[in-house]
C-alpha cells in the first residue's frame, strides 16, 4: 500500500505542477504580466516538455540511449505543416483548432510509423550500438527532409524528391524548409498535449506493460526467462515515445511561420537528453521541470546566452559524475540520509546487483 | 520438522528406456527428456551427450566441480544457448525451434547463479513481472485504465502476496528488490520463477551465500513447493547437505560429461564420483 | 577518369576517417567506452596547428607536433577527470558524460576562437602534388600525405600492439581487465596511454582534415567524428584493421555518392550503409562475437 500511495502522490503532483504552471501563465497573460519574448516561448516550452517526457520513456524507463529523438520531432513537424497547409489551401478548412488537432494526430501517426520502421532494425542492437544507430537515423531523417519538396495544387498534393519545380503552392521547399506556415499552435493546445503525454507515460509505467519494459531494462535475460518478449516491449516504449515526439513536433512546427530541417539537428536530440539527465533519468516529473526550466532560463538570462551551452556541458558532466561515481554517490546519499535523520541499517549485498552481466 | 520426511528415501524405478524416476511419477509422462544434448563453443565441447529424464514431481540434483558445464546445461534447457547436438523435450514438446520466452511459456522457470532481479523495482513488482503471462491485460487497458485494468491489477496483487507468503516475504513487498539481503534476493528469485506457473523449476545454486540455518529452511521450502505445486525441480548446488538431503536423483558432471547417475546413496559410494569430486573432500577430511 | 579522381578523393577522406576511427576503436577496445569527445579533440588539434602557423609563426612540423602534444595532454586529462571516476558506472552514464565533454570542448573553442570560421593554411602540408594520365588525374600533396600517414600509422600501431610490451599490455587489458590487473598491469596507466595515443592521432587527423577541407570552426570535428565512429563500428569496433577498412570504405562511399547520387543525400547514404552492415553483421566487418555470460 505504501509504495502504491507514494506512486499516486508522485503522479498527482506531476500533473499538479503542470496545471499550476499553466494557470499561473494564463493569469499573467490576462494581466499583462508577461514579456513578449516569454510569451513566444510558451508553446516551445510545452513542446520541449513533451520531448523530455517521451525521451525519458526510452532512456529512463526502457533503458535504451536514443540519440535521434529530434528526428521524430522533425517528422511530426513537417507532417503537421503539410497536413495543415493542405487542409487550409487544398480543402479550404478554416477551422484552426480542427486543423491543429488533425495536424498533431497526423504528426504523431507518421512519427509512430517512422518509429516502427526504425525500431525494427535498431532494436536488434543494444547499448552503444543502438545509440549510434539512432543518431544515424536522426541524421538520415534530417537529410531526407532537406531533399523533400511538397506543394499543394487544387485538392491534391505534389510530393517530390530533389525536384524543386512543383506546380501550385509550395509547402515544403527542400533545404529552405517550410515557408509561410500559418501559425495555429496555441498554448492551451500545448498544455493539453503535455497532460496527455504525462497521462500516457505515467499510466503506462504503472501497468503490466510498463513493468515489463522496466524488467527488460533491469535484467534482460531474467525478463526473457519469465516469458517477456523483450523486443515487443522495447519496441512499445520506442514507438510510443516517437508518437509523442511527433505530436510535439507538429505543435512546434505550427508555431512558426518558417521551419527548416536544420532546426532538428543532432544537437536538439542532445538538448532533450540533457533535460532527461538533469531531471533525473527515469524521473518523469524531473524531466518536466528540467525541460521547462532550461527552456525559460536562457530567455531570462539573455546576457549569459553565450555561456549557456558551456554551462550546460559542465553541469551535465558534474551531474553524471555526482550520480554515478560510487564515492560521490555514497557521499551524497550520506548527506541526504543525515538530512532525513534516518540512517538505514540494512545494506544491499555486496555483489547482489541484478541485471549487470558478470 | 521435515527432517524425517527428507531422510525417507523415495523408491526409484527404472523405465524400460533405462531412465530412473521416482515410483510415484511412474504413471505420468516425464516433464523433461534430454537426449544426447551437447554444445560446442568454437570447438570446445562444453557439454557432451547429456541424457536426463525427470519425473513429474522429481527433485533432482546436478552436481560437479566448477566449470563442469552445469549452468551451461540450464542455459541449453532454457534456450539461452542453442544446442549444437541432441534434443530437449519439455512435457513432450520439442524445444528445437523455441526461444527463451517460448520455453518459459512451455513451463520451465529458472533462477540465476549470479542473481538477476529487477533491482530498481519493488519486491511485489518483481513477482508481478513473473505473473506477466499468467494474469494479462493489454497496453491500452493499462494506459486508459479500463475496468479490466483494476480487476487484473487486484488479481496480480493477491497472487503476488500469496506467492511471497511461501517464503514469509509478504511484509517485504514494498522494499526495493536490489536492497534486500543476499539470501532474501535468492528466495525472491524462486518466488518470481514460481509466479510463471512452471512445471519444472531450475534452481542454480539456490543455497549459495546462505548460512546453514537458511539452507535448512530452503530445503524445507523446496520440498514444500514440490508438494503443493506438484512440480519437478532440477537444482545445481555445491552444498552436499542440501543435495543429499532432498534430491531423489543425482547426476554428476565433469568436463561436460555425465560421469555418474543415481540416488544419493549410490552417488556417495560411487568410486568414480569420489575420485572426481568428493574424493578430494575425503582426503582433506582425513 | 572522373571516377578514378573520385576514388582518389574517397581514399584520401577515408584515410582521415581511418585515423580518427583508430582513436575511437582503441579507446572502445580498452576502456569499453564510446569517447564521444574524440571528434572535438580533432577540432582542438586543428585549432592549435592553425594558431601555430598563423600566430606563433612555427614551422609546419612544429605546428603538427605542438598540436599532437596539446591533444595528448587534453585526452589524458579528459580521461582522468571525467571518465576514470565512472569506471564502474553504466555505459549510459559514461556515454552521456562523453557527450557532455564533447559539448564542453566545442563551447570552450567557441569562447576562445569565436564562431567565425577560420581558413586553415593549406600550405601546412607542403608537398607538391602530381598529375597522371596526361593531366587528367591530379593527386594533390595533401592527398598523398594523408594516404601515406594512414599507412604509416597503421603499420606502426600494428607493430606496437603485437610486438611491444606496452602494446601487449593494452591487448591484455582489452581482453580481461581483471586478469590484466592481477598480472601486474596497471589498468589505469594503460587506459591513459590509449587515450594519449588516440588523441595524438586525432591531432594528426585534425591537421589533415583541415588541409583537405580548409574551414575551421568549433563544430568542425563533430561530423567527421561521428562518421569516423561510424567507420569504426562499420569495420568492427575494437579492431585496428577494422578501423582502417571501415574508414577507407566509408570515405569512398561518401565521395562516390556525392559524385554520382546526390550531394544532399551523401550523409544519409553513409549512415544507411552503417545500419545495413550492423543489421547483417552486428559486430561489424572484422569484429569478433562476444557471448554474453549467463
What domains can be seen in chain B, in order of their start residue? 3-107+198-285 (3.40.50.300), 117-195 (no CATH)
* Closest residue in chain A to residue B112, using alpha carbons only: A222
Q: Which domain holds residue A251?
A: 40-265
Given this model, what pLDDT does residue B124 score? 96
Q: How far is CA A90 from CA A161, B253, C85, in A?
A: 21, 76, 59
Query: Which of C83, C94, C103, C111 should be substituted to probe chain A, the one whose Cβ sees the most A Cβ atoms within 10 Å?
Result: C103
Q: Is residue A23 part of a domain?
A: no
SS (H, E, C) C42-101: HHHHHHHHHHHHHCCCCCHHHHHHHHHHHHHHHHHHHHHHHHHHHCCCCHHHHHHHHHHH
**Interface contact B101-A224, CB threshold 8 A:** yes
**Interface contact C294-B75, CB threshold 8 A:** yes
Q: What is the helix (H) or strand (E) element at residue C188, kind and residue range?
A: helix C187-212
Given this model, what pLDDT does residue A4 score? 82
Entry pTM = 0.88
Domain count, chain A: 1
Given this model, what pLDDT does residue B219 score? 94
Which residues of B, range 54-83, sit inside 8 Å of C by Cβ? Answer: 71, 75, 80-81
Closest CA to C40 of B77, A309, B89, A86: A309
Q: What is the helix (H) or strand (E) element at residue B110, kind and residue range?
A: strand B108-110
Contacting chains of C (3 CB pairs or more, <8 Å) are A, B
pLDDT tens-place string over residues B199-218:
999 999 999 988 899 999 99
Q: How far is it, in rounded angstroms, from Cα A103 to Cα A80?
A: 4
pLDDT at C95 over 70: yes
Given this model, what pLDDT does residue A357 score? 37
| Higher pLDDT among residues A339 and C71, named by residue | C71
Given this model, what pLDDT does residue A169 score? 85
Residues 6+ apart with CB under 8 A from C273: C234, C250, C253
Closest CA to C110 of C264, C269, C216, C225: C216
Q: Tell me if chain A has a CB within 8 Å of the CB of C187.
A: no
Poorest-pLDDT segment among A282-286, A346-350, B167-171, C134-138 = A346-350
- Calculate mean pLDDT across residues A275-292: 92
**Interface contact C230-A270, CB threshold 8 A:** no
pLDDT at B283 over 50: no
Q: How far is it, in rounded angstroms, from Cα B96 to Cα A71?
A: 41
Given this model, what pLDDT does residue B273 score? 84
Q: Tell me if chain A has a CB within 8 Å of the CB of C265.
A: yes
Q: Coil, helix or strand for B125?
A: helix
pLDDT tens-place string over residues B102-153:
999 999 999 999 999 999 999 999 999 999 999 999 999 999 999 999 999 9
Q: Is residue A53 part of a domain?
A: yes
pLDDT tens-place string over residues A161-193:
888 888 888 888 888 889 888 899 999 999 999
**Interface contact B112-C291, CB threshold 8 A:** no
Given this model, what pLDDT does residue A17 score? 96
**Interface contact B149-A227, CB threshold 8 A:** no
Task: Give the confidence band of A343 by pLDDT, cuts at 50, 70, 90.
Answer: very low
Task: Give the confidence band of B231 by pLDDT, cuts at 50, 70, 90.
Answer: very high
**Interface contact C291-B71, CB threshold 8 A:** no
Q: Is residue A277 part of a domain?
A: no
Q: Where exactly are the structural domains of chain C?
A: 2-114+138-280
Q: How far is CA A139 from CA A56, A269, C237, C264, in A?
A: 21, 11, 21, 12
pLDDT at C212 over 90: no
Poorest-pLDDT segment among B114-123, C90-99, C130-139, C177-186 = C130-139
Q: How far is CA B152 from CA A117, B52, B60, B158, in A?
A: 32, 39, 35, 10
Percent of chain B having pLDDT more than 70?
92
Given this model, what pLDDT does residue B282 score? 45
Task: Give the confidence band of A283 by pLDDT, cuts at 50, 70, 90.
Answer: very high
Given this model, what pLDDT does residue C279 score? 79
Given this model, what pLDDT does residue B257 score? 92
pLDDT at C292 over 70: no
DSSP for A42-75? HHHHHHHHHHHHHHHIIIIIS----S-HHHHHHH
Given this model, what pLDDT does residue A163 score? 81
Q: Coil, helix or strand for B41?
A: strand
CATH number of C2-114+138-280: 1.10.3470
Q: Tell me if chain B has a CB within 8 Å of the CB of A346.
A: yes
Distance of CA B93 to the CA centre of its chain: 19
**Interface contact B119-A354, CB threshold 8 A:** yes
- Calculate mean pLDDT across residues B223-242: 93
Give B215 to chain C, closest Cα distance, Å.
24
Amino acid at each position: 500500500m505504501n509504495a502504491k500511495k507514494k506512486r499516486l502522490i508522485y503522479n498527482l503532483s506531476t500533473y499538479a505542477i503542470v496545471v499550476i504552471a499553466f494557470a499561473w501563465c494564463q493569469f499573467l497573460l490576462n494581466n499583462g504580466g508577461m514579456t513578449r519574448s516569454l510569451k513566444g516561448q510558451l508553446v516551445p516550452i510545452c513542446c520541449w516538455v513533451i520531448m523530455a517526457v517521451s525521451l525519458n520513456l526510452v532512456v529512463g524507463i526502457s533503458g535504451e540511449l536514443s540519440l535521434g529523438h529530434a528526428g521524430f520531432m522533425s517528422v511530426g513537424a513537417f507532417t503537421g505543416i503539410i497536413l495543415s497547409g493542405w487542409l487550409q489551401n487544398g480543402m479550404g478548412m478554416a477551422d484552426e483548432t480542427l486543423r491543429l488537432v488533425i495536424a498533431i494526430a497526423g504528426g504523431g501517426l507518421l512519427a509512430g510509423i517512422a518509429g516502427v520502421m526504425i525500431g525494427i532494425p535498431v532494436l536488434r542492437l543494444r547499448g552503444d550500438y543502438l545509440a549510434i544507430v539512432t543518431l544515424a537515423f536522426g541524421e538520415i531523417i534530417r537529410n531526407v527532409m532537406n531533399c523533400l519538396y511538397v506543394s499543394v495544387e487544387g485538392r491534391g498534393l505534389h510530393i517530390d524528391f530533389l525536384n524543386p519545380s512543383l506546380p501550385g503552392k509550395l509547402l515544403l521547399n527542400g533545404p529552405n524548409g517550410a515557408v509561410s506556415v500559418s501559425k495555429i499552435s496555441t498554448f492551451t493546445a500545448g498544455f493539453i498535449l503535455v497532460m496527455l503525454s504525462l497521462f500516457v507515460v505515467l499510466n503506462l509505467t504503472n501497468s503490466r506493460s510498463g513493468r515489463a519494459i522496466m524488467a527488460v531494462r533491469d535484467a534482460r535475460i531474467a525478463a526473457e526467462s519469465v516469458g517477456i518478449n523483450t523486443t515487443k516491449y522495447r519496441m512499445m516504449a520506442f514507438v510510443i515515445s516517437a508518437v509523442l515526439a511527433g505530436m510535439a513536433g507538429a505543435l512546434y512546427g505550427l508555431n512558426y511561420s518558417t521551419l527548416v530541417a536544420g532546426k532538428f539537428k543532432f544537437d536538439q536530440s542532445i538538448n532533450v537528453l540533457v533535460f532527461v539527465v538533469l531531471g533525473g533519468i527515469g524521473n518523469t516529473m524531473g524531466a518536466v521541470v528540467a525541460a521547462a526550466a532550461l527552456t525559460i532560463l536562457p530567455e531570462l538570462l539573455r546576457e549569459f546566452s553565450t555561456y549557456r551551452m558551456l554551462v550546460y556541458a559542465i553541469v551535465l558532466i558534474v551531474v553524471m559524475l555526482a550520480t554515478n561515481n560510487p564515492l560521490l554517490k555514497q557521499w551524497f546519499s550520506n548527506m541526504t540520509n543525515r538530512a532525513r535523520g534516518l540512517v538505514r541499517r540494512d545494506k544491499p549485498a555486496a555483489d547482489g546487483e541484478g541485471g549487470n552481466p558478470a | 520438522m521435515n527432517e524425517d520426511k527428507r531422510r525417507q528415501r523415495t523408491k526409484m524405478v527404472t523405465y524400460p528406456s533405462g531412465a530412473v524416476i521416482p515410483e510415484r511419477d511412474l504413471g505420468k509422462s516425464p516433464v523433461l527428456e534430454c537426449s544426447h544434448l551437447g554444445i560446442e563453443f568454437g570447438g570446445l565441447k562444453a557439454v557432451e551427450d547429456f541424457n536426463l529424464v525427470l519425473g513429474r514431481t522429481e527433485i533432482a540434483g546436478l552436481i560437479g566441480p566448477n566449470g563442469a558445464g552445469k549452468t551451461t546445461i540450464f542455459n541449453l534447457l532454457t534456450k539461452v544457448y542453442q544446442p549444437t547436438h541432441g534434443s530437449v523435450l519439455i512435457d513432450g514438446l520439442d524445444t528445437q525451434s523455441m526461444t527463451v520466452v517460448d520455453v518459459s511459456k512451455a513451463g520451465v522457470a529458472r533462477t540465476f547463479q549470479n542473481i538477476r532481479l529487477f533491482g530498481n523495482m519493488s519486491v511485489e513488482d518483481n513477482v508481478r513481472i513473473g505473473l506477466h503471462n499468467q494474469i494479462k491485460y493489454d497496453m491500452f487497458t493499462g494506459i486508459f485504465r479500463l475496468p479490466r485494468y483494476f480487476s487484473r491489477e487486484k488479481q496480480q496483487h493477491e497472487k503476488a502476496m500469496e506467492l511471497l507468503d511461501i517464503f514469509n516475504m509478504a511484509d517485504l513487498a514494498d522494499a526495493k528488490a536490489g536492497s534486500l539481503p543476499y539470501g532474501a534476493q535468492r528466495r525472491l528469485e524462486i518466488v518470481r520463477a514460481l509466479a510463471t506457473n512452471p512445471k519444472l523449476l531450475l534452481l542454480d545454486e539456490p543455497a549459495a551465500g546462505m548460512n546453514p540455518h537458511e539452507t535448512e529452511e530452503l530445503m524445507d521450502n523446496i520440498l514444500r513447493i514440490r508438494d503443493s505445486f506438484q512440480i519437478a525441480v532440477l537444482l545445481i548446488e555445491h552444498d552436499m547437505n542440501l543435495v543429499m538431503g532432498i534430491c531423489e536423483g543425482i547426476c554428476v558432471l565433469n568436463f561436460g560429461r555425465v560421469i555418474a547417475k543415481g540416488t544419493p546413496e549410490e552417488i556417495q559410494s560411487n568410486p568414480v564420483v569420489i575420485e572426481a569430486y568428493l574424493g578430494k573432500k575425503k582426503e582433506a577430511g582425513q | 577518369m572522373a571516377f578514378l579522381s573520385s576514388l582518389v578523393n574517397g581514399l584520401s577522406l577515408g584515410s582521415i576517417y581511418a585515423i580518427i576511427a583508430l582513436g575511437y576503436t582503441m579507446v572502445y577496445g580498452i576502456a569499453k567506452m564510446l569517447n564521444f569527445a574524440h571528434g572535438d579533440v580533432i577540432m582542438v588539434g586543428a585549432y592549435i596547428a592553425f594558431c601555430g602557423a598563423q600566430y606563433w609563426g612555427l614551422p609546419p612540423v612544429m605546428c603538427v607536433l605542438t598540436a599532437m602534444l596539446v591533444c595528448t595532454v587534453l585526452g589524458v586529462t579528459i580521461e582522468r577527470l571525467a571518465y576514470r571516476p565512472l569506471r564502474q558506472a553504466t555505459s549510459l552514464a559514461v556515454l552521456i558524460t562523453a557527450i557532455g565533454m564533447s559539448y564542453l570542448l566545442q563551447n570552450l573553442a567557441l569562447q576562445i576562437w569565436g564562431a567565425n570560421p577560420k581558413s586553415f593554411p593549406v600550405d601546412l602540408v607542403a608537398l607538391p602534388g602530381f598529375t597522371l594520365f596526361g593531366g587528367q588525374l591530379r593527386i594533390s600533396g595533401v592527398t598523398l600525405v594523408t594516404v601515406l600517414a594512414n599507412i604509416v600509422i597503421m603499420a606502426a600501431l600494428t607493430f606496437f600492439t603485437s610486438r611491444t610490451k606496452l602494446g601487449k599490455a593494452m591487448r591484455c587489458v582489452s581482453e580481461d581487465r581483471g586478469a590484466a590487473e592481477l598480472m601486474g598491469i596497471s589498468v589505469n596507466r594503460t587506459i591513459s596511454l590509449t587515450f594519449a595515443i588516440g588523441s595524438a592521432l586525432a591531432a594528426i587527423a585534425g591537421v589533415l582534415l583541415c588541409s583537405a577541407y580548409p574551414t575551421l570552426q568549433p563544430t568542425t570535428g563533430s561530423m567527421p567524428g561521428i562518421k569516423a565512429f561510424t567507420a569504426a563500428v562499420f569495420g568492427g569496433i575494437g579492431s585496428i584493421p577494422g578501423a582502417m577498412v571501415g574508414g577507407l570504405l566509408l570515405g569512398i562511399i561518401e565521395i562516390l555518392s556525392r559524385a554520382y547520387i546526390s550531394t544532399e543525400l551523401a550523409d544519409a547514404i553513409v549512415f544507411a550503409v552503417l545500419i545495413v552492415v550492423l543489421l547483417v553483421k552486428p559486430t561489424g566487418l572484422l569484429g569478433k562475437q562476444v557471448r554474453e555470460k549467463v
